[in-house]
Chains A and B, each alone.
Chain A
Amino acid sequence: MLTNTTSEQGNTLPPAIDLRKINKSFGPVHANKDVDLVVAKGTIHGIIGENGAGKSTLMSILYGFYEADSGEILVNGKLSSIKSSKEAINAGIGMVHQHFMLIENFTVLENVMLGAELNGFLKESKLSARQELTRLSDEFGLAVDPDAITGELAVGLQQRVEILKALYRGAEILILDEPTGVLTPQEVKQLFDILNALRARGVSVMLITHKLQEILAITDEVTVMRAGTMVASRETAKTNKEELAELMVGRKVLLQVDKEAAQPKNVLLQANNLTLKDGSGVTRLDDVSLQVHAGEIVGIAGVSGNGQTELLDVLSGIMPVQQGSIDLNGTTIDKRNVLNAKDFRHLSLGHVAEDRHRQGMVTSFSARECAIMGFQDEPEFNGKILMDNAAVTKHCEALMEEFDVRPANPHLKAANFSGGNQQKLCIAREIERKPEVLLVGQPTRGVDIGAIEFIHQQIVQLRDAGSAVLVVSVELEEVMSLCDRIIVMFEGRIVGEMPASEADAQTLGLLMGNAGSDKDDNGQVNAKGES
């Protein structure tokens, strides 16, 4: 199937991929702005950027999930229109998705041949697929048992099946979206061997990642994306991780948050060796221990999907503790003492959810109903049998007034408020009770500038009143300007901790990409900060 096995990158050959002025918007969000990208044949091209930089959108356009609003796609020098995955496959593009597109109860062979069967009958199709699979396995060193049930394979092997799927379809251009996120260090090494073998046989690889080390280890060229645009392209040999981290994070003017130095006092929230596995057995939290003191704001930085969501869920009682324990305001919560989110609130914990549409509010509810979420059983909102709806409305009005939520109409459906006003309402609900511990996920996601400042002020005020605040944010500058102490998470572990005063974007960026220590992936904390 694979015809092109030249390993040279002759100048005469047109680039494998040539994107010109690609634009894509989702409503008001401009996800890709005039993106140009050239990927030379037979190279590994890294694309690096923070969350929301537009990497995934760009790859989805290339693979036919989305259609670009404008711009041109040239594949091997030919102008191509790619409107569906089928057309992408026909153009020789293969994609390994971050979440594998595999049928778990199928065999490897069945997964590989699905959609590219020889003919209508499986016997013959399987026979030919088996031969081709053996050939590909030998050629690229991709050994997988064709008869194994895919869902029972280790994650690394499943990824191999995905790569084989693409090669089986004759892909000469392979896109890998965050391929190492779920792999062990050994598996990463094996993957890189495979990618090298692919390159040697003329396959062009596009590697999307936020991990600097990987970029440096494997790519020939690297492109940095930020806020929907291409900010730089470098030959990998001529750059270094410091430069890339800076390009990735950008030298933005820091938001100024007016605050005094923190006066940390006693520990109010403490996590002890929290470890959590998800339904499919992947470790999401790996031995996480941290302390938050009264009167300080601790920020958790990290690229999203590195365990922050799970940490917030466990610390707020949404998910039960599996291993380890939590000390909250003098109460210990562990496997034996299971408490739910309401019980946590009764221990004076407030929690502003990371994703208000998923957890923090019900968009089909009216604002007044959203204003009591988590407090629906409090006596102040309830009569003997019926709820005191007047009190609920009044409470919402008070919150709206105090936190300047507009329009100040408690009966309006939550969905009809702007993102900033929705978030203000959520924060108001949690802060108004002066919780001794406050968890805030993504304090200003989807919030306009004016509201950002206001929200930050409220959080600082709560700290000054003596509460312990834990902030999770993927916005590095927000963590740096708002927090007093910064913890960096990577793949469910804490990989760094430092006072905000000593943190700079570069150091944090390196830690977030797990390139902070020169050791390796197993390297633990390198810059242990205060206390």
Chain B
Amino acid sequence: MSDFLLILVSTLDSTIRVSTPLILCAMAGLFSERSGIVDIGLEGKMLAGAFAAAAVAAVTGSAWLGLLAALAISVSMALLHGFACITHRGNQVVSGLAINILASGLTVTLGIAWFHQGGQTPLLSGDARFLAIDLPGALALADVPVIGTIYSGLISGHNALVYLAFVTVPVTWWIVYQTRFGLRLRAVGENPQAVDTAGISVFWLRYRAVICAGLLCGIAGAYLSTAQNASFIKEMSAGKGYIALAALIFGKWRPKTALLACLLFGFLEALTVRLEGVALPLIGEVPPQFMQALPYILTVILLAGFIGKAVAPKAVGVPYVKER
């Protein structure tokens, strides 16, 4: 039994670690898509943020300066997306794709030129990383059965950005559902014309939304390279931005359900590692690739309307034209 608990706790523990960037990106996507701007560029913003964070942390030795750099670069990419989609009414999917490809190429190109390590950044240590924080009493409680194991093994011992990610969910919920900005954000994604006739600027509102998305993707990027890992590695986002997008859709564009979707997808990933080579009763060995594809398969099934109905914000993807 206690063996089972240990396995469970360690699986959930890694679930939390792999879910963190998903949660941050899903919340980022939530801001953008709730305002009516499709964001398939989560991946690129996160990747660029990861590179900026690792590069600056390597040079300055400060993880926090690295985080700032990640925020700056990710927000500027978000603004580029806004410039193309909001100001120039460009195709939002094309723009997001351009950002992803650009980030994928730029990070490696600059990484090689600046650090000469084949696209990686130097290994970070000490203050240049976000290290695990032991919550008060974690050590003392570690031996208490069940509760102690859960507290010290699952809840304590993560880095600051993990806790930050879990805080962003209620904060996002609060902003979206409890503030004036949130009300207007939800409105502009449904019916921009109504927002315009209510005397609110659609452009400025949407720009603020994509900036929020940029900030959160930046944190996700910094987490990848300065917290979860100790350097930037080529293509380290590895499709997480797309999984986050899938989680957002799976969570029907709502913070709490998107969080659950992120945890589910993270759990699947953690389970993949755990199940490798293990034969399950009845089913036998589950191919890890199946587990990897499962988030995408689930999202496709959901989108096809076979489990519930994912109703996107009504105006998502449609550039706003003021005339008429």
Contacts and interface: CB of A to CB of B under 8 A. Distances in A.
A110 B183 contact: yes
Interface in B170-212: 177-184, 186-187, 190-191, 193-200
Contacts of A120: 179-181
B199 A89 contact: yes
Interface string A84-95: 111011100001
A114 B197 contact: no
A119 interface: yes
A97 B191 CA distance: 14
A113 B194 CA distance: 12
B195 A122 contact: no
A114 B193 CA distance: 12
A336 interface: no
A96 B190 CA distance: 19
A116 B184 CA distance: 11
A102 interface: yes
A125 interface: yes
A103 B186 CA distance: 9
A450 interface: no
B178 A122 contact: yes
A519 interface: no
Given A114-B184, A114-B187, A115-B184, A121 B194 contact: no
Contacts of B180: 117, 119-122, 125
B178 A85 contact: no
A114 B190 CA distance: 13
A114 B179 contact: no
A130 B307 CA distance: 37
Contact of B191 (A103, A113, A117): A103
B191 A95 contact: no
A152 interface: no
Contacts of B191: 101-104
Contact of A106 (B179, B187, B200): B187
Interface in B216-271: none
Contacts of A114: 183-184, 187, 194-195, 198, 200
A103 B196 CA distance: 12
A122 B177 contact: yes
A88 B199 CA distance: 9
A103 B199 contact: no
A87 to B, nearest CB: 8
A123 B193 CA distance: 25
A62 B190 CA distance: 26
Contacts of A102: 191, 194
Contacts of B324: 65
Nearest to A86: B199
Interface on chain B toward A: helix, strand, loop, or mixed SS?
A: helix
A7 interface: no
B195 A121 contact: no
A97 B197 contact: yes
A103 B187 contact: yes
Interface in B285-324: 314, 322, 324
A104 B190 contact: yes
A105 interface: yes
Given A114-B184, A121-B179, A122-B179, A101 B190 contact: no
Contacts of B177: 122
Given A84-B199, A85-B199, A103 B179 contact: no
Given A114-B187, A115-B200, A122 B182 contact: yes
Interface residues of B, number: 23
Given A104-B190, A105-B190, A122-B177, A115 B198 contact: yes
A95 B178 CA distance: 28
B190 A103 contact: yes
B149 to A, nearest CB: 40
A114 B197 CA distance: 10
Contacts of A63: 197
Contacts of B199: 84-86, 88-90, 115
Given A120-B179, A122-B178, A101 B193 contact: yes
Contacts of B183: 110, 113-114, 117, 122
A521 B284 CA distance: 72
Contacts of B200: 86, 114-115
Contacts of B198: 85, 89, 101, 114-116, 165
Nearest to A151: B190
B178 A123 contact: yes
A122 B198 CA distance: 17
A115 to B, nearest CB: 3
Contacts of A122: 177-180, 182-183
A63 to B, nearest CB: 8
Contacts of B197: 63, 85, 95, 97, 101
A90 to B, nearest CB: 8
A197 to B, nearest CB: 24
A89 B197 CA distance: 9
Interface in A303-317: none
A59 B238 CA distance: 54
Contacts of A113: 183
Given A121-B178, A122-B178, A123-B178, A115 B195 contact: yes
Contacts of A165: 198
Q: Kindly name the residue among A105, A110, A119 whose own CB sees the greatest number of chain B CB atoms within 10 A.
A: A105
Interface in A110-142: 110, 113-117, 119-123, 125
Contacts of B187: 103, 106, 114
A73 B229 CA distance: 64
B251 to A, nearest CB: 17
A112 to B, nearest CB: 10
Interface string A370-400: 0000000000000000000000000000000
Nearest to B181: A120
A101 B182 CA distance: 18
Nearest to B191: A103
Contacts of A106: 186-187, 190
A88 to B, nearest CB: 8
Nearest to A118: B180
Interface string A45-86: 000000000000000000101000000000000000000111
A110 B191 CA distance: 14
A102 B193 CA distance: 9
B194 A101 contact: yes
A125 B182 CA distance: 13
A287 to B, nearest CB: 32
B196 A85 contact: yes
A105 B184 CA distance: 13
A308 to B, nearest CB: 21
Nearest to A115: B198
Contacts of A97: 197
Contacts of B181: 120
A254 to B, nearest CB: 33
A118 to B, nearest CB: 9
A101 B197 CA distance: 7
A85 B181 CA distance: 19
Given A97-B197, A103-B187, A103-B190, 9 more contacts: A85-B197, A89-B198, A106-B186, A106-B187, A115-B195, A115-B198, A120-B179, A122-B182, A123-B178
17 contacts: A85-B196, A85-B199, A103-B187, A103-B191, A103-B194, A104-B190, A105-B190, A106-B190, A113-B183, A114-B187, A115-B184, A115-B200, A116-B198, A120-B179, A120-B181, A121-B179, A122-B178
What are the 5 closest A-B residue pairs judged by CB atoms, nearest first?
A115-B198, A86-B199, A101-B194, A117-B180, A101-B197
